[in-house]
């Protein structure tokens, strides 16, 4: 689709306006989103740190309290006493419960609250102290104690099972060297709610013998309340992520399960890796902090088994960058309105200052193309330019007017020159024909008289020879005049070809025979290279005869005395007739070789041309080769000239097939438009 100047201007204005706005919006949204994401990430990381420290501090405090309870003298004494009784009930091994223990374990789920075994467990020095501590927590945690065989020896409330040896917390607390155990978040079998289990072995302060284990089941409603305070936006999430099991045991809000991102944040210790656009494109924004246990634990010299938790706090990306998008929409709206206003102003200015002047110049150029050379884009008496200002288009308008004025002057000058040439040709043709006619008639009269004298017995051979020369010169001059008149006829080369079928072989021989007088005078000869028979040719015999005569006469004129002129003709495989005429003259200068087919081009100043006789180097009016090219091209042929200091070759190629009708030839004014002024 062709784009006009208006569409190009509109496209340019839109591009200049919208592209900076689009780039600005991209920069604002991108940088704003990055800054917003970084800020929210720092905030979420700080919040995650707060949660992590709160969890660690609370569980450390619970573990410290449980440790103190486990090392109270009465707790140690009662546990040691129960251990001694339990040891007597085991037979041969410390891992095989006695029959009474198994019986209680089997009966345990159905034991009433007033059963003797249950009363012993719920009402003893340890149970009373445990119940006193658990009551202060308002039901957030419960405690129990088991001996080193896994039997339940004390509890604040009735647990679900009697035998505890198979529980993870009991196994971990009974491990040698363990001073405490904090479990991950699990479901409490008592109330089916998420809870954390803490366990501390019961031993003497400076002893290594474990008498039992003190367990606390901590309700995590306090974690839920803490997380709920910070999870305000819709879609925000606070969760505890276990890096060992790659699970989320607890969360507030929708659990975000992008394991790769969680692992990446944990690996980077909660720091963003600099690729903020990942958070913009993938999921929510995360803040991470590890839950660091062990800081300030008072659990002796042993190690504490703790979970590997990380607190992850997230907010939806869409919610985070929503203010940025709001700002972007506002900027886009204001920018589009301003661009529209500026576009209208710019379009009006461009229409007045660019489009209208260009359209004015286009109309003027079209008028000049139609031949109206008097058109002007700026009036002579115009003081204030309507279409053009003092700018580049105004300068172009002035240059256009100057061009049309100069073109008008050149056309007038060419017309005067053409008229002068016509008058010269007509005058030369008519003035020269009169003496030529007289010479021819006088020669014929003298010849008849000499013939009469010869009949009387006189010697007239020398006189006859002189008359032959005079006749040849007169015929040559007559030929030159005819050439001039052919150019003048009807001011064009539009005379139709009189096509007939003739023998080209005979025509070539006839032309050579007509030049015998000139050849004899210059002691030259023609060397013919012709086949025995050439194909019949369909064309204008007279015009092709003029072609051969002009070329052959030039070869005689520019070859030295006694030279040999070569003339060859043959048929080619592509059904063309090729004629080659070679002389042995001094050649044509390279600077004149391209101009020899133009009328009146002789290679030298015409004011110094020779008379047209056939002496060596003589020159005519420069019309012969112009006629040669016109007549050859009229037959759909071509003519080429090659020249060296050793001679000149004229190559003529004519089609043997019947040519299609050709378009009318251009008028003489076009052919001699570049004639020099005479």
pLDDT of residue 435: 65
Residues 485/486/489/492 CA torsion (nearest 10 deg):
-140
pLDDT of residue 384: 45
Least confident of 24-28, 114-118, 272-276, 498-502: 272-276
pLDDT at position 456 over 60: yes
Contact 583, 563 (CB under 8 A): yes
**14 — pLDDT class (breaks 50, 70, 90):** confident
pLDDT of residue 658: 57
Token couple for 487: 């150019």
The span from the CA of 263 to the CA of 213, in Å, is 35
Residue ranges, CATH 3.30.450.20, the chain: 1-320
Residue 492: DSSP 8-state: B
- The CATH fold assigned to 1-320 is Beta-Lactamase (3.30.450)
Helix (H) or strand (E) holding 91: none
Domain 360-491: give its CATH architecture: Orthogonal Bundle (1.10)
**264 — pLDDT class (breaks 50, 70, 90):** low
The predicted model gives 380-398 an average pLDDT of 69
More reliable by pLDDT, 508 or 470: 508
DSSP class per residue in 310-376:
EEEEEE-HHHHSHHHHHHHHHHHHHHHHHHHHHHHHHHHHHIIIIIHHHHHHHHHHHHHHTT-TT--
Sign of the Cα torsion 257, 242, 273, 288 reads positive
pLDDT at position 365 over 90: no
pLDDT at position 197 over 90: yes
* Top-confidence range, 215-229, 461-475, 605-619: 215-229
More reliable by pLDDT, 78 or 10: 78
Relative to beta strand 247-252, strand 237-242 is antiparallel
The span from the CA of 270 to the CA of 49, in Å, is 10
Q: How many CB atoms lie within 10 A of CB 234?
A: 10
The predicted model gives 578-582 an average pLDDT of 94
The span from the CA of 538 to the CA of 637, in Å, is 13
Residue ranges, CATH 3.30.565.10, the chain: 500-671
Q: How many CB atoms lie within 10 A of CB 317?
A: 20
pLDDT at position 55 over 70: yes
The predicted model gives 225-253 an average pLDDT of 80
Tens digit of each residue's pLDDT (9 = 90 or more) over 597-615: 766 555 554 333 344 445 5
Please state whether the predicted TM-score (pTM) of the whole model is above 0.75: no
Angle at 584 (CA atoms; ends 583, 585), nearest 5 degrees: 100
pLDDT at position 59 over 60: yes
Rounded-to-5 percentages of helix, strand, coil across the chain:
50, 15, 30
pLDDT of residue 490: 44
Tens digit of each residue's pLDDT (9 = 90 or more) over 100-113: 667 777 778 778 87
pLDDT of residue 99: 62
Provide the percentage of residues in the chain whose pLDDT is more than 90.
12
Least confident of 313-322, 417-426, 503-512: 417-426
pLDDT of residue 96: 53
Q: How many CB atoms lie within 10 A of CB 528?
A: 13
pLDDT of residue 495: 52
Least confident of 88-92, 185-189, 542-546: 88-92
Residue ranges, CATH 1.10.287, the chain: 360-491
**Site of tokens 């002035």:** 398
The span from the CA of 35 to the CA of 599, in Å, is 84
More reliable by pLDDT, 86 or 143: 143
More reliable by pLDDT, 667 or 13: 13
Helix (H) or strand (E) holding 156: none
Provide the percentage of residues in the chain whose pLDDT is more than 70.
74
pLDDT of residue 381: 57
Angle at 382 (CA atoms; ends 381, 386), nearest 5 degrees: 160
Specify the CATH number for 500-671; select among 3.30.1370.100, 3.30.565.10, 2.60.120.590, 3.30.310.40: 3.30.565.10
Tens digit of each residue's pLDDT (9 = 90 or more) over 113-153: 788 888 888 888 889 888 888 877 666 788 999 988 888 99
């Amino acid at each position: 689709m062709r784009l006009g100047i208006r569409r190009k201007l509109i496209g340019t204005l839109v591009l200049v306006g919208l592209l900076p706005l689009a780039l600005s919006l991209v920069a604002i949204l991108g940088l704003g989103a990055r800054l917003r994401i970084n800020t929210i990430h720092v905030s979420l990381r700080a919040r995650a740190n707060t949660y992590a420290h709160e969890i660690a501090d609370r569980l450390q405090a619970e573990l410290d309290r449980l440790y103190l309870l486990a090392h109270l003298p009465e707790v140690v004494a009662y546990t040691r006493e129960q251990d001694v009784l339990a040891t007597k009930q085991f037979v041969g091994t410390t891992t095989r419960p006695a029959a009474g223990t198994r019986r209680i374990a089997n009966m345990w789920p159905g034991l009433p609250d007033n059963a003797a075994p249950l009363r012993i467990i719920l009402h003893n020095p340890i149970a009373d102290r445990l119940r006193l501590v658990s009551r202060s927590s308002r039901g957030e945690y419960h405690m129990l104690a088991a001996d080193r065989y896994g039997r339940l020896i004390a509890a604040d409330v009735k647990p679900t099972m009697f035998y505890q040896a198979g529980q993870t917390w009991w196994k971990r607390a009974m491990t040698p060297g363990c001073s405490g155990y904090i479990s991950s978040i699990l479901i409490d079998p008592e109330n089916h709610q998420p809870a954390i289990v803490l366990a501390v072995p019961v031993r003497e302060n400076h002893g290594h013998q474990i008498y039992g284990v003190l367990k606390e089941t901590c309700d995590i409603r306090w974690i839920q309340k803490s997380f709920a305070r910070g999870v305000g936006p819709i879609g925000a999430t606070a969760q505890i992520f276990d890096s060992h099991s790659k699970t989320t045991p607890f969360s507030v809000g929708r659990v975000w399960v992008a394991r790769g991102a969680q692992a990446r944040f944990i690996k980077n210790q909660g720091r963003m890796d600099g690729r903020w656009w990942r958070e913009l494109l993938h999921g929510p924004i995360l803040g991470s902090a590890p839950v660091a246990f062990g800081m300030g634990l008072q659990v002796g010299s042993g190690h504490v088994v703790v979970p590997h938790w990380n607190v992850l706090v997230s907010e939806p990306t869409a919610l985070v960058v929503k203010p940025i998008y709001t700002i972007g929409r506002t900027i886009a709206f204001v920018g589009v309105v301003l661009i529209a206003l500026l576009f209208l102003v710019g379009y009006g200015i461009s229409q007045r200052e660019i489009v209208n002047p260009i359209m004015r110049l286009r109309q003027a150029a079209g008028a000049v193309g139609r031949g109206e050379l008097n058109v002007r884009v700026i009036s002579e008496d115009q003081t204030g330019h309507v279409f053009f200002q003092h700018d580049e288009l105004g300068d172009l308008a002035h240059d256009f007017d100057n061009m049309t004025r100069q073109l008008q002057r050149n056309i007038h000058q060419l017309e005067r020159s053409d008229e002068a040439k016509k008058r010269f040709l007509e005058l030369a043709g008519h003035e020269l024909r009169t003496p030529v006619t007289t010479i021819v008639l006088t020669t014929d009269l003298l010849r008849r008289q000499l013939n009469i004298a010869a009949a009387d017995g006189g010697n007239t051979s020398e006189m006859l020879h002189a008359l032959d020369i005079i006749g040849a010169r007169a015929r040559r001059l007559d030929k030159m005049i005819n050439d001039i008149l052919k150019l003048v006829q009807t001011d064009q080369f539009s005379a139709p070809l009189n096509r007939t079928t003739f023998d080209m072989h005979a025509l070539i021989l006839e032309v050579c025979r007509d030049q015998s007088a000139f050849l004899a005078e210059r002691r030259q000869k023609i060397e013919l290279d012709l086949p025995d028979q050439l194909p019949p040719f369909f064309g204008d015999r007279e015009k092709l005869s003029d072609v051969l005569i002009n070329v052959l006469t030039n070869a005689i004129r520019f070859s030295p005395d006694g030279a040999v002129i070569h003339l060859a003709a043959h048929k080619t495989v592509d059904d063309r007739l090729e004629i080659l005429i070679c002389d042995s003259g001094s050649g044509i200068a390279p600077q004149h070789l391209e101009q020899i087919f133009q009328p009146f081009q002789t290679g030298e100043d015409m004011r110094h041309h020779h008379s047209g006789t056939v002496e060596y180097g003589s020159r005519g009016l420069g019309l012969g080769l112009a006629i040669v090219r016109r007549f050859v091209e009229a037959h759909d042929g071509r003519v080429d000239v090659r020249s060296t200091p050793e001679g000149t070759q004229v190559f003529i190629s004519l089609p043997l097939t019947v040519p299609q009708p050709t378009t009318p030839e251009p008028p003489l004014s076009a052919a001699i438009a570049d004639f020099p002024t005479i």
